[in-house]
Structure 1
Amino acid sequence: MRFFPVALLSGLLVLSGCSDSSSEKASSAPAVKPEVNVMALHPTSVAITALLPGRTAASLIAEVRPQVGGIIRKRNFQEGGSVKEGDILYEIDPATFQATYDSQVAALQKAEGAVPSAQAKVDRYKGLSQRDAVSQQDLDDAQSLLTQANADVASAKAALDAARINLEYTKIRAPIGGRVGASTVTVGALVTAGQTTTLTTIRQIDPINVDVTQSSTNLLKLRRSIEDGRLKTSGANVSVHLTLEDGSSYKQVGRIEFLDAAVEETTGSVTVRAEFPNPDQLLLPGVYVRATIQEGIRDNSFLVPQRAVSRNTKGEATAKFVGGDGKVEERIVSVERSMGNSWLVSQGIKDGERVVVEGSQRVKAGQDVIATDVIVNDATGEIEETSQSSLDTPVNQTADAAAGGVKLATKD
């Protein structure tokens, strides 16, 4: 029992030595670097687009009305079908107009029959007047009768033309080609010239118009960007793409037709009209669509994935980059607008810099990291593939590796 304190003290010394040895080994072990995924950024020319709501409208609309009165004898079209310009839509009973036309034909023949006699009398009186066989007054009277006979012929021709036109109006023709609507009258109905009620309506939907509205504020920003040289327009025929009500894309590409000359006072917007081919007549008037209008091209801009950008307490957009020494750098970036699942940034980024797209929450500024290059799909905003090489060494050892291995996948 006398040796127990000595044994206990020896055990404590041994344990203390082991603990010190373990602490020294733990302090000498290298710290584990956090891993992050990065994407190299390169300047590119970005098409600036605007997504605007709108509705389709027929390019031409014709309201069909009768130009003469009468009884509808026949209807020659299928409601809701297609008609061509000049097709006969309705036929009005032509009996009265045919009789008028025949009467005018006879009147013209009568007037033309009086001309030869008057002309022969004038010729005869001219010869006799040279021998003083007739007076000058008789010659003047003969010439007056000839002039009146010619005028009667002209008047009869005009009356015949009017009768022919009215007779032709008994066949109501399509003024334009397109889709014809429902008929408001049936066979046997009485119609009158210049009536307010339309017989039917024809709409031309190939091509078809799309009317969208753009705020006057956005138009002002657009024009200032063009004047400052920050935006290059792509010409007068700016391309337009449509998204239909079910979310699908319309395969035909349209072009801008005109920009309204006035701003709507109640809404502060301007109407923009685009024209689209519609050969399959898929688009009908009145359909709600969304139009993506290409406003111009911005050069030397960067597309930064939205997942790589966050906001600080001041509301400023920030992103983390892996610098040339392998350390994390946090920087404020100037975000202008969203482009798909990316932000458009025109300032604050240099060619080849690598932005952290995954793992930014696990690291802080000044920290050493292991950076792995990835590709981000702009259509989904998700990482599409990861390269096999990890960059444990500083990224500036080879400029080609930092600039050439990463591309931004964009949707067609």
Structure 2
Amino acid sequence: MKKFFVPLCLSALALALSACGKNPATEEKKPVVKVSTEVIVPQALSINNELSGRVVAPRVAQVSARVAGVVLKRVFEEGSEVKQGDVLFIIDPAPLQAELDSAQAALRKSEALAFQAKLQDQRYSALVDSNAVSRQDYDNARAQTLQAQADVAANKAAVQRAKLNLGYATVKAPISGRIGRALVTEGALVGQGEVTPLALIQQLDPIQVDLMQSTRDLDNLRDSFRAGELQQVGKNQARVTLIRDNGSFYPLPGKLLFTDVSVEPSTGQIILRSEFANPDRDLLPGSFVRVRLEQAVNKQGLSVPQRAILRDSAGVPLVLLVDAENRIKQQPLQLGGAINDRWIVNDGLKAGDRIVIEGLQHARPGEQVQIDDPTPPLAHSTDR
């Protein structure tokens, strides 16, 4: 047994020493990470600003009583659509009709007195030349004729005013739109010494949104326009998209109407008014919304897919660049706004750079990667 024990021990020792002295270079190499990339290509990009705003009705009419009286009837249905000229309320017309009748009677009386004064004026005019009447009597007759004519004119005006008041007893819609709740009920005394609101009508289609933008942002845009970095979008060409409270986009596009000429002293902001079609009455006055407004175009803009963006511990956005030797390098960025699923790059990249868009979780800075089906340079749409 001892003769075989020594060679076996020597063999085991030789195998152990052989395993310990194995060359690391002979070990199996780590597989190269495969990534997909995209080449950065300049393209025309719209510069959008997302602004807060409030929905406002372009036309608002407060229906008020223009004559004093008792409301007899409410004709309209609360919350319904009304057209200009539709009857809304009926105020008791009896007292107003009586005033009209009285004014017409006073007019007929004044016309009779004017006729009598005119005849006397004509008789005295024929007699004054023959000295049958004195010049004083003729002048008095002439003055009475003129006074009677003035009384007729005054009474005609009183009749016209009485007719207007009688017409105001039938309260009509001054504009077309949606009417709210009635502010008075049947039997209410209105217009007695003060203006009495009866209802409110608001135009809802189209509807407007007043946006607020800081003067600093506007100044930065103007500086970019003057420097030639950006091209201004015309008022009629600017695309305006409304974002609802739930984050969804309003399906109908809007348009920019005008920019106000004064700044709000308390906020340092300026109002930009936009308009949207509202056929289904989804947008109601007073609602707070967000609006994405296209204000400029960068003819040589750069953008990257949102999925290509990483962030460091400080929250700084960065991408993974692939150099000429297919090695990974981290590149911090300054991002602008978003267009669809892409971020606008303000600084950090240049045309021709190749960035990793897939396989980011396996790629490490300094390591060499294998580009798997590199994405060709494509012109990405800037439509929302």
CA distance, structure 2, for counterparts of residue 174 and residue 193 of structure 1: 21
- Distance change (3 Å), C-alpha of 1:166 and 1:18: closer
| Contact in 1 for aligned 2:65/2:195 (Cα 8 Å) | no
2:57 matched to which residue of 1? Answer: 58
Q: Given the alignment of the two structures, is residue 111 of structure 1 paired with residue 101 of structure 2, yes or no? A: no
Deviations along 1:249-296, one digit per CA (max 9) or x if unpaired, are 22222233444522352x554443322221222222233322112222
- Distance change (3 Å), C-alpha of 1:19 and 1:411: farther
Structure 1 residue 325, shift from structure 2 partner: 5.0
Q: What is the number of residues matched between the two proteins?
A: 381
Q: How does 1:170-209 map to 2 (within 5 A)?
A: 170-195=169-194, 197-209=196-208
The alignment-based identity, stated in percent, is 36
Answer with 122-131 or 169-178: which moved more: 122-131
Q: Specify the code of the residue in structure 2 equivalent to 1:253.
A: P
SS of 1:49's equivalent? strand
SS of 1:59's equivalent? coil
2:47 matched to which residue of 1? Answer: 48
CA distance, structure 2, for counterparts of residue 194 and residue 47 of structure 1: 58
1:80 matched to which residue of 2? Answer: 79
CA distance, structure 2, for counterparts of residue 7 and residue 203 of structure 1: 104
CA distance, structure 1, for counterparts of residue 15 and residue 177 of structure 2: 102
1:351 matched to which residue of 2? Answer: 351
Structure 1 residue 62, shift from structure 2 partner: 2.3
Q: How does 1:197-276 map to 2 (within 5 A)?
A: 197-237=196-236, 238-260=238-260, 261-265=262-266, 267-276=267-276
Q: Tell me, which stretches of 5 or more residues in structure 1 are unaligned?
A: 376-401
CA distance, structure 2, for counterparts of residue 43 and residue 10 of structure 1: 69
1:296 matched to which residue of 2? Answer: 296
Deviations along 1:135-189, one digit per CA (max 9) or x if unpaired, are 5444433332222122111101111111111111211222222212222332223
- Distance change (3 Å), C-alpha of 1:13 and 1:206: closer
Deviations along 1:305-337, one digit per CA (max 9) or x if unpaired, are 233344567876543333445444554444344
| Contact in 2 for aligned 1:129/1:135 (Cα 8 Å) | yes
| Contact in 2 for aligned 1:83/1:177 (Cα 8 Å) | yes
User: What TM-score do you get using the length of structure 2 for normalisation?
Assistant: 0.82
Q: Specify the code of the residue in structure 2 equivalent to 1:278.
A: N
Deviations along 1:330-359, one digit per CA (max 9) or x if unpaired, are 544443444454331245544343211233
CA distance, structure 1, for counterparts of residue 63 and residue 252 of structure 2: 31
Q: Given the alignment of the two structures, is residue 39 of structure 1 paired with residue 38 of structure 2, yes or no? A: yes
- Distance change (3 Å), C-alpha of 1:70 and 1:325: same
SS of 2:274's equivalent? strand
| Contact in 2 for aligned 1:306/1:343 (Cα 8 Å) | yes
Answer with 142-151 or 332-341: which moved more: 332-341
| Contact in 1 for aligned 2:73/2:90 (Cα 8 Å) | yes
CA distance, structure 1, for counterparts of residue 88 and residue 18 of structure 2: 110
- Distance change (3 Å), C-alpha of 1:186 and 1:319: closer
Structure 1 residue 69, shift from structure 2 partner: 1.8
CA distance, structure 2, for counterparts of residue 25 and residue 244 of structure 1: 62
SS of 1:205's equivalent? coil
- Distance change (3 Å), C-alpha of 1:130 and 1:212: same
Q: How does 1:377-392 map to 2 (within 5 A)?
A: none
SS of 2:301's equivalent? strand
Q: Specify the code of the residue in structure 1 equivalent to 2:295.
A: E
Q: Tell me, which stretches of 5 or more residues in structure 2 are unaligned?
A: none
| Contact in 2 for aligned 1:77/1:89 (Cα 8 Å) | yes
- Distance change (3 Å), C-alpha of 1:18 and 1:180: closer
CA distance, structure 2, for counterparts of residue 12 and residue 333 of structure 1: 59
Deviations along 1:119-149, one digit per CA (max 9) or x if unpaired, are 4544554455556655544443333222212
1:393 matched to which residue of 2? Answer: none
Answer with 290-299 or 10-19: which moved more: 10-19
Q: Specify the code of the residue in structure 2 equivalent to 1:262.
A: V
CA distance, structure 2, for counterparts of residue 42 and residue 202 of structure 1: 53
- Distance change (3 Å), C-alpha of 1:7 and 1:54: closer
- Distance change (3 Å), C-alpha of 1:17 and 1:113: same
How big is the alpha-carbon RMSD for the aligned residues of Structure 1 and Structure 2?
3.7
Q: Specify the code of the residue in structure 2 equivalent to 1:174.
A: A
2:150 matched to which residue of 1? Answer: 151
CA distance, structure 1, for counterparts of residue 183 and residue 364 of structure 2: 75
| Contact in 2 for aligned 1:104/1:160 (Cα 8 Å) | yes
CA distance, structure 2, for counterparts of residue 131 and residue 108 of structure 1: 36
- Distance change (3 Å), C-alpha of 1:411 and 1:152: closer
SS of 2:371's equivalent? strand
Q: Which of structures 1 and 2 has the larger relative contact order (alpha carbons within 8 angstroms, sep 6+)?
A: 2
Answer with 4-13 or 36-45: which moved more: 4-13
Q: Specify the code of the residue in structure 2 equivalent to 1:321.
A: L
1:380 matched to which residue of 2? Answer: none
Q: How does 1:8-23 map to 2 (within 5 A)?
A: none
SS of 2:100's equivalent? helix
User: What TM-score do you get using the length of structure 1 for normalisation?
Assistant: 0.77
1:94 matched to which residue of 2? Answer: 93
CA distance, structure 2, for counterparts of residue 249 and residue 318 of structure 1: 29
